[in-house]
Amino acid sequence: MIGAQLRQELAAIVGAEHLLGPERSYEHDASLSRGVRATPDAVVRPGTTEQVAQVVRACSRHGVPVVPRGGGTGFAGGAVATSGGVVLALERMTGVRSFDPLLWRMEAEAGLTTRDVQRLARENGLLFPPDPGAAEESQIGGNVATNAGGPHALKYGPTGAWVTGVEAVLASGEVVRFGGPYRKDVSGYDLRGLMVGSEGTLGVITAVRLRFVPRPEAALPVVALYPGAAEGAAAVQRVLGSGIVAAALDYLDAATVAAAGAAMPVHSAHGFALLAELDGSAEEVQRQRAALLAALEPHANSIHFPEPAELWRWREGVSGAVAAQRGGKLSEDVVVPVEHLAEAVDGVVEIGRRHGLPACSWGHAGDGNLHATFMIDPDDLAEVARAEEAAGEVFAMTDRLGGSVSGEHGIGVLKREHVGRRWSEHEHALQAAVKHAFDPQNIMNPQKKLRA
Ligand SMILES: Cc1cc2nc3c(=O)[nH]c(=O)nc-3n(C[C@H](O)[C@H](O)[C@H](O)COP(=O)(O)OP(=O)(O)OC[C@H]3O[C@@H](n4cnc5c(N)ncnc54)[C@H](O)[C@@H]3O)c2cc1C
């Protein structure tokens, strides 16, 4: 519990109406089904960077943890106050500080939603390519703090590739600005890059400078269906080797297609599906079409050409459709070198079989990123425990294949025992030294991101 003195100080900084007590909606994020829930001592909703700085300074003086919170859509429990303390919610900081469409750039406050960034770009003939799945609720600050990805990260990279500058409040309460409204910067170490993906453990991101590109004129999605993972993964390697830069190259294994494929905008969906998309000028897309089809066609059972908007809208619902099969699911977003995709996809199903759990995976095939999933009855505690064991085996398989335990959802509190499984002690120590340099008191989202 925080003391009355700190409570008074926080109310004086943000106004009593923006200091909330233990609020249910701030007790969890999208990892609730994994049992991550904690009541914060208080929730503050600052409206300016200066208020954020004062809140952090006050918490630092009292030695109280600060847990930055964006839209609360994270899958790793990162925005949950599992060590107590104050949840610092950025939801009031939604301003656009500057927008220069002709120079392809914007400075936005951290609380602006992902969808609003995408919309503003689109309305001005531009593209903000990061496309994580919860764009209506997630915030740009949360996307930067998790380095969120999505289907189009294959061509365009994850969120961090679109961030040229970060304004943040450090644990000391100091306001820092790393990078700026320029596209290249090699002076000093890349502290901007360190903030990207730092999951609230190095500071509170209060604003970000983003870059855009002109919106591609045309997009051509293609769905190819294969008998199994081996044939589909071979097609992924042919696409990568063909010299075409596909904008997206996602997959759904046969069990995912069985669970979610009924509404897929193609005639009839069975087997392993690849979702490839080309984008660019209309002429460029047409030119690349033949090469893409030549790479996809060998061993394909069928090829389809859905409408782009329809396909990606359906794709956003895949996770929910899989969860609906048995009422719940346990998913881990591991990543492996792309040449091991088929082995990993089949490995997940085999691990599920050994644990008596229906299993499936889908994800970003070109990036080697799998959402390895066990479908569970969430009320059956023995089953939930078996799924946790199965997830442990997925991590072990990922190690064996030379991959990593998280490709995009982050480590948070859920995966900290598994982070850096292949790092040396020295590599772990370097990571801890970075944390210590930014946050010697360990008040910034403690017990998250790094190994205990
Ligand atoms: C339906 C659904 C689909 C999803 N699809 C994807 C996907 O395709 N790709 C993907 O990568 N993720 C996906 N996610 C996960 C999630 O949306 C992303 O991780 C997102 O970037 C989290 O943003 P948020 O604003 O909700 O952050 P939160 O959940 O609030 O926080 C996430 C982490 O970032 C920190 N944080 C948040 N804001 C700040 C800030 N301003 N300063 C410092 N630290 C901060 C928190 O402390 C926490 O550690 C999905 C989630 C859902 C529910």
pLDDT tens for residues 194-227?
Answer: 999 999 999 999 999 999 999 999 999 999 999 9
Tens digits of residue pLDDT in 26-39: 999 999 988 899 99
Tens digits of residue pLDDT in 414-443: 999 999 999 999 999 999 999 999 999 999
pLDDT band at 229 (very low <50, low <70, confident <90, very high): very high
What number is the average pLDDT over the span 264-278? Answer: 92
The answer on pLDDT for 297 being more than 80 is yes
Tens digits of residue pLDDT in 102-133: 999 999 999 999 999 999 999 999 999 999 99
**Structural contact between residues 342 and 355, judged by C-beta atoms closer than 8 angstroms:** no
- For residue 68, the ligand 1 atom closest to its alpha carbon is 47
If one counts every other C-beta atom within 10 angstroms of the C-beta of residue 9, the result is 19
What's the CA-to-centroid distance between 114 and ligand 1, angstroms? 10
What number is the average pLDDT over the span 268-283? Answer: 95
Binding pocket residue ranges, ligand 1, CB within 6 Å: 29-30, 67-75, 78-79, 90, 110, 132-134, 138-139, 141-143, 145-146, 148-150, 199-200, 204-205, 319, 408-409, 412, 445
What residue's CA is closest to ligand 1, atom 39?
142
